Amino acid sequence: MQIGVNVPNFGPGTDPGVLRAWARTVEGLGFDLLMMSDHVAVTPDVADQYPAPFYEPFTTLSWLAGITDRVRLGTTVVVAPYRHPLLLARMAANLNELSGGRFILGVGVGWARQEFAALGVPFEQRGRLTDEALRTLREEWAHVDDYGTGRIPIWVGGNSDAALRRAVRFGDAWHMLRFTPTWMRAAVAKLPETGAPALAPRIALRLTDEPVHDADRLAGEGTAEQIAADIAELRALGAETVLLDPFNGDPRETLRPETAWRALATVAEIRKDHL
């Protein structure tokens, strides 16, 4: 199993130096993947959760590709309707080539109504637009020689039944986002017997001194032992990759990245000893 990290590319504590430190920490601790989220217009609904500065993921990941050597790079997730499908195909292909074939494209439908309005994209049509984008990506990338670095994996993000259907139809992996262990078990039971995509979930990373016993505990929350058990269960359920998300909702967390780095170091030790 591969383990990656969702790096905050937003918030009051984020700047180029911090992003560089994140990349070197993730790669230095031996993680396999570094991913970032996507917003284009930081409208009030976006800023409430993910305030500026918000670094555009393709630009930022292209820069980080030049200062990393091994770690894979990806998006969790690009909002497909925000960019023309042909532009999205070209940007992803170029980033894949510039990184030496290390790119994974995570795609979702989006949720921020004000941002959709600011970009002139109809919110109610976001599902259809995402399907069209994924279909175009597949068609454009069918000619691998045009891009030179091989096939780019597509992870379809989202927890809904529609996201699962989209992943089965277009994706290489279903990229579920922050959930309880109980939800995950039920979700795996929905997978079709044939033609199921790989599982590449994104879970929380919140390390605590005492066990968390709440019924709504997210996978990845709790003591080191609980986190290790969650990752082990995900592997047993068939997950090929697990992405750790150390951002837990307060933008001020970005002012103290060392807290997340310590949690990641703990997971790296767990992985070495038990996973």
Asked whether the predicted pLDDT for residue 164 surpasses 70, the reply is yes
Residue-wise pLDDT for 61-86, tens only, equals 999 999 999 999 999 999 999 999 99
Average pLDDT over residues 262-275: 91
User: Domains of the chain by range and CATH?
Assistant: 2-274 (3.20.20.30)
| Predicted local distance difference test score (pLDDT) of residue 150 | 67
Give the rounded percent of residues in the chain with a pLDDT score beyond 70.
97
Helix (H, G, I), strand (E, B) or coil at 26: helix
Return d(Cα 4, Cα 31) in angstroms, integer: 6
Give me the pLDDT at residue 274, please: 74
